[in-house]
Amino acid sequence: MKAWDHAYRDRKRKKREFRKLWQTQINAAVRQHDMNYSTFIHGLKEANIELNRKMLADLAKNKPETFEEIVDEAKEALEE
């Protein structure tokens, strides 16, 4: 019973920890472009770009040129 309780709890915790990891990775990549995480996410919403945090973190790590284009789109949306 105790193992089932821990397994249930840790399945929830795993989702939480990955989301924190993705947010940290995105924040680190966005700071290289003179923004912070919260303004970047707001810019994405303004630009109607619907990418989840997992994909954004993957782009930031593996395809920095594509991520830079997304950051530029978010900046443009915030300026308007």
The CATH number that applies at residue 70 is 1.10.1900.20
Query: What is the domain extent for residue 33?
Result: 18-79
Q: With CA atoms as reference, report the closest residue to 71 among 21, 24, 28, 17.
A: 28
- 10 Å CB burial of residue 67 (0-12, 13-18, 19+) is buried
- Please tell me the predicted confidence (pLDDT) of residue 77: 96
Question: Is 25 within the bounds of a domain?
Answer: yes
Task: Flag whether 62 is in a domain.
Answer: yes
C-alpha angle 9-22-56 in degrees, rounded to nearest 5: 135
Q: Residue 80 has what pLDDT? A: 85
Structural domain total, the chain: 1
**Short-list 20, 50, 17, CA closest to 37:** 20
- Whether residue 8 lies inside any domain: the answer is no
* pLDDT tens digits along 10-55: 999 999 999 999 999 999 999 999 999 999 999 999 999 999 999 9
In-domain check, residue 22: yes
